[in-house]
Amino acid sequence: MWDMKHDRSLMSSFPGMLPNIVHKYWKIRTGIDLLRLFPKRLPVRHNIRIHTKVNAVYMSQYQLLPYERIKDHFESQMDIPLSVGSIYNFNKSAYERLEGFEQWLIQELIESEVNHVDETGINIDGTRHWLHCVSNSRFTYLYSHKLRGTIAMESGGVIPLYKGILCHDHWKPYYSYSCTHSLCNAHHLRELERAVKSKTTKNGQRRCSISC
């Protein structure tokens, strides 16, 4: 016997796109259209649209899946037709909505007691860029730039205004800023290990063992 009260709870507890699956299941099993049964209590169509966007952005930006694979996933697993253009628009919308959060995040990092900074090379459309990172124990701010040095650091908006303790490697542009500088021991260990491997000197081995 189908329990309507139970399935109201079931529908409201399902995350993401699962309401669509539940709706199809119950329509086949009972002949009852849940979309018509609960239009006010649970706007399922609206939820499906929102959670489709959220999951598409998550798969694209966090899992780093290609657009075509995301499109195939929604069509084959969820029976939701989704174009590559739609996924691009979802990402664009998310980017625009994050502008306010980005400004808040920058201010939080400027006021942080300690920040860690680093940068690494990445490929964007076949062109070399740099992924810059500013982080503390609570937040991580990532942004890309064509350059690696002070111009890129200033475009991020944190380092030029920062007066706390900045932990970094020996990349010279960091020393251009008037904050308290702290050198990263992870980089020290990496350099010592490389020295031991390339020049198996007793001093290098001794320094590495002391640091470790």
Cβ neighbour number for residue 19 with a 10 Å cutoff: 24
The amino acid that residue 86 corresponds to is S
Q: pLDDT tens, 15-44?
A: 444 445 445 554 555 555 545 544 444 455
When pLDDT is cut at 50, 70 and 90, the band that residue 12 belongs to is very low
List strand residue ranges (DSSP E) for 21-169, in order. 114-124, 127-135, 140-145, 165-168
The pLDDT score that the predictor gives to residue 203 is: 59
- Report the interhelical angle of 185-198 vs 202-211 (nearest 10°): 150
Rg over alpha carbons for the chain, rounded to the nearest Å, is: 25
More confident residue, 158 or 195: 158
Domain boundaries, the chain: 4-97, 101-204
When pLDDT is cut at 50, 70 and 90, the band that residue 205 belongs to is low
The pLDDT score that the predictor gives to residue 31 is: 57
Give this prediction's pTM.
0.66
Cβ neighbour number for residue 71 with a 10 Å cutoff: 20
Over residues 140-145, the mean pLDDT reads 96
Q: pLDDT tens, 108-118?
A: 999 999 999 99
Over residues 117-129, the mean pLDDT reads 94
Closest by CA to 117, choosing from 148, 84, 85, 83, is 148
Sheet with 127-135: list strands edge to edge.
140-145, 127-135, 114-124, 165-168, 180-183
Q: What's the CA gap between 85 and 58, in Å, rounded?
A: 16
Cβ neighbour number for residue 200 with a 10 Å cutoff: 9
Point out the least confidently predicted range of 36-40, 67-71, 72-76. 36-40
Q: 212 is written with which tokens?
A: 């470790």
Q: 183 is written with which tokens?
A: 């050198």
Burial of residue 109 (number of CB atoms within 10 Å: 0-12, 13-18, 19+): buried
Is beta strand 127-135 parallel, antiparallel or unpaired with respect to 114-124? antiparallel
164: left (phi over 0), alpha (psi -120 to 50) or beta: beta
Q: 15 is written with which tokens?
A: 């995350």
